[in-house]
Amino acid sequence: MSTTTVPPGVATVRFTSGFWQGIQQRVHGTTVPAIGADLADDAVSPALRNFRIAVGDEQGDHAGPPFLDGDFYKWLEAALAVIELEPASPLRAQVDAAVELIARSQRSDGYVHTPTVIAERKSEEALPLADRFNFETYNLGHLISAAVRHHAVTGETSFLTVAEGAASWLEALARDKPLDLARSAICPSHYMAVVELYRATGAERWLRLAEAFIEVRDDFQGGDDNQDRIPVREQRVAAGHAVRANYLYAGLADLVLETGDKSLMTVLESVWQDVVDTKLALTGGCGALYDGASPDGYPWQSEITRVHQAYGRAYQLPHTTAHNETCANIGMLLWSERMLSLTGEAKYADLVERIAHNTLLAGVSLAGTEYFYTNPLRQVRELPFPLRMPGDTVLRPTPEPPPSDARLRERYLSCFCCPPNLARTLARWHERGASLTSQGLRVDMYGGTSSTVDLADGGRFVLREESDYPWHGRIALHVDEATGSGATVPVMLRVPGWAGGATLSIAGGAAEPVAAGTYVRLERTWSAGETIVLELPMPARILRAHRLVEEASNQVAVQRGPIVYALESHDLPAGVLLEQVAVPRDARLEPHESEVAGHRVVELRGEAAVLPADSGALYSDLDDAPLRGIPLRLIPYFAWSNRGPGEMSVWLPVVWS
């Protein structure tokens, strides 16, 4: 294979058609403005009011969870993504006002945290880092990331100056109070943030600070809940709180990208593979357990710790009680895309795609204004135990359990970390479509992208995708421009791991087979008007789980292309219950154009078997009544719970003919 490299340049990626353009238009036009309005509305959220109280513009007490500042900063990132593409957006005025307010709330030492600043203003005793669950470092990390983004979009330095002050405060902690810093590294967004600050400013001190975060962590004796029971470089499996773990490893990957630290790379590759091989939901969900214990069942009982939102044991993947917090899934996405940058291996992009098309999109309603905190794989009626709702442990210590079959998305959650995280991720989704590397233009995601490569020597290459992906597998990539050195830019196209039998043709030539789970590299002299056609077969696949995934024993799930499908009770005939529906082993499932709540989808239709009804007893005799058939309709998992309360399952019993 040739080792042709590309001259320095940049790739600008946008959605110009298709599935992801529609998603992004909804996020930009509805989701981001709606979240901004709610965060600024005192009747809905105290987020903005906390800052006004902190600077003395209003009187009152801090309200909401201690990480609400960080959630507001995440919304700022989402708003800035809109402003980048729409400079005249009315969100600009909101962002400007917020930046000014945040800057005024910053102490002279760089510290920003509205609960503490409000208490200090009222002459109450308030010490930074007094409680590790006050999330100061989490908040400051998101502040720094938002400020870096603000500088990139606006060119202004006012918010960047605030970020440098916050990083200076963290730097002083690393030097003077390292154990306090390590103890408070909860959901460590600051690992990623200071590396981003280094990239934006070129200041070496921020890269050294990222390295210091690891050093102080390794000197702290903690537990698996926060991944600090054993030193980072000794870790080989995923344990503990999934959001905290995924944020940590994403930050370590950022550090490896800058330093090439091989020992950290060994950790990242091992832990990532452990998640994918033993602890990942089919939908891409992470952190299967509401609560767990780690290391569960091991001899050294003194080291066992309670773990919230836990990865759990290998293959411990429940359905109805699956937690799979939206933030954990986003953290896995952030980690995986950094691993893709480090290695160029398609398996990392494959996981980004799985998360994006399934559990990520499930986190927001089709209308774009309601959200899930948890993302189960099964929803059933009359659950005999309550499942904790978002924020119960923060704001509602003795909640009234909701009806178990009424798990619906909500517009505002008392624990509001997921909605703005989802908004900032989807608002910038176009950036994940393709990237320019030293080896060429690497196309990672499909769904309507247009990539413009501008090279430092004046060459240009424009590649525009035309497809109905993910609903159909024919992807046409049109060369709209190829001038100067741009005419020889190599193109690397991802062939998803699920796409067995894929073929590729160029400029009307013969279709040649290409290997699934790889990037196919194309080197030639391009001419405007040429078309590359990638054909990805999309049969409906009936999948089973590993033998140790006990809840999936004798059950199957259905996937077509990157989309995982689910059965909703809304689509069952009268008198048939969700638990009665079984999939024949030889079922033929065919795609059909359809809608869910007015939104276009491709559903799958076939025939299911109806099992005898459950007697209700804990154990009962097997009924030998003959099975009958009914029509089966499966919808994309991400579209469930958009038609009111009902039951749902990704995994269904299988019957053998």
The answer on 552 and 530 residing in a single domain is no
Domain end position, chosen among 506, 535, 564: 535
The answer on 549 and 645 residing in a single domain is yes
- Look up the CATH number of the domain holding residue 511: 2.60.40
User: Is residue 392 predicted with pLDDT exceeding 70?
Assistant: no
The answer on 581 and 644 residing in a single domain is yes
Residue 435, classed as helix, strand or coil, is: strand
Residue 238: its pLDDT value, please?
Answer: 95
Cis peptide before 66 (omega within 30 of 0): no
The answer on 635 and 567 residing in a single domain is yes
Domain end position, chosen among 518, 535, 552: 535
Domain count, the chain: 2
Residue 522 lies inside a defined structural domain of this protein: yes
Sorted by sequence, the CB contacts under 8 Å of residue 87 that are 6+ apart come out as none
Picking from 142-151, 601-610, 621-630, which range would have the lowest pLDDT averaged per residue? 621-630
The answer on 626 and 530 residing in a single domain is no
Cis peptide before 653 (omega within 30 of 0): no
The answer on 604 and 566 residing in a single domain is yes
Residue 269 lies inside a defined structural domain of this protein: no
Q: Using pLDDT thresholds of 50, 70 and 90, give the confidence band for residue 390.
A: low
Report percent pLDDT > 90 for the chain. Answer: 87
Q: How distant is the alpha carbon of residue 480 from its chain centre?
A: 32
Q: What is the mean pLDDT of residues 234-243?
A: 95
Q: In degrees to the nearest 10, what's the CA dihedral of 294, 211, 437, 338? A: 20
User: Sheet holding 531-535: strands in order across?
Assistant: 9-15, 449-455, 460-467, 474-483, 531-535, 503-506, 512-513
Q: Are 532 and 522 in contact (CB under 8 A)?
A: yes
The answer on 586 and 512 residing in a single domain is no
Return the bridge partners of 395, or none.
none
Q: What is the pTM of this model?
A: 0.95
The answer on 557 and 508 residing in a single domain is no
Domain end position, chosen among 535, 563, 597: 535
Residue 134 lies inside a defined structural domain of this protein: no
Residue 646 lies inside a defined structural domain of this protein: yes
The answer on 579 and 478 residing in a single domain is no
Residue 392 lies inside a defined structural domain of this protein: no
The answer on 647 and 545 residing in a single domain is yes
Phi-psi region of 447 (alpha: psi -120 to 50; beta: other; left: phi over 0): left
pLDDT digits over 106-127, tens only?
999 999 999 999 999 988 888 9
Residue 578 lies inside a defined structural domain of this protein: yes
Q: How far apart are CA 195 and CA 202, in angstroms?
A: 10
Residue 452 lies inside a defined structural domain of this protein: yes
Q: What is the mean pLDDT of residues 378-384?
A: 91
Rg value, the chain, Cα? 25
What number of CA atoms fall less than 13 Å from residue 621's CA on the CB side? Answer: 3
The answer on 639 and 584 residing in a single domain is yes
Domain range for residue 617? 541-655
Q: How far apart are CA 11 and CA 244, in angstroms?
A: 32
Residue 501 lies inside a defined structural domain of this protein: yes
Question: How do strand 474-483 and strand 460-467 relate by DSSP bridges?
Answer: antiparallel
Report percent pLDDT > 70 for the chain. Answer: 96
What number of CA atoms fall less than 13 Å from residue 205's CA on the CB side? Answer: 11
